[in-house]
A = this chain, B = another copy of it.
Amino acid sequence: MMTIGTLAEKTGVGIETIRYYERRNLVLPVARKASGYRIFDESSVHKIKFIKNGQRLGFTLNEIGSLLALRVKKSGRCGDVKRKAEEKILEIESKIKSLRQMKKALTELIGHCHAERPTGDCPILQSINGVKED
């Protein structure tokens, strides 16, 4: 049993963040004191760590919310989680693909660059521009 400050310290997130997670229905206090103080227990520590790990894997808070819900629902199958993970991998792959395209285009542009030229003649800008002058 702990207050929000202790939970924040244990998990390394800010107090405001925990209240934000509560608004998002991700981490609810197990109880309230008569004074209104939130009370948390170890399960809240695990939940916040779950959230942080999920974020590291590229899940949004909304997605993490449904993973948490799956975990609780008795009818949830491991396959449901697997499907979400597979979707996320596809998403990640497509992001990587478009980043690679950006990198390739930028690398080619840099190859044409002669540093001392004034920007008026810069082949990078011209190429971003698509035309010779503005």
Chain A residues within CB distance 8 Å of chain B? 43, 46-47, 49-50, 53-54, 56-58, 67, 70-71, 73-74, 76-82, 85-86, 88-89, 92-93, 95-96, 99-100, 102-103, 105-107, 109-110, 113-125, 128-131, 134
Number of copies of this protein chain within its complex: 2
22 contacts between A and B (CB under 8 A): A47-B134, A50-B130, A57-B105, A57-B128, A58-B99, A67-B128, A70-B122, A71-B119, A71-B129, A76-B118, A77-B116, A78-B124, A79-B113, A81-B113, A81-B125, A82-B113, A82-B115, A85-B109, A86-B110, A88-B106, A96-B99, A96-B103
CB pair A77–B129 under 8 Å, yes or no, is no
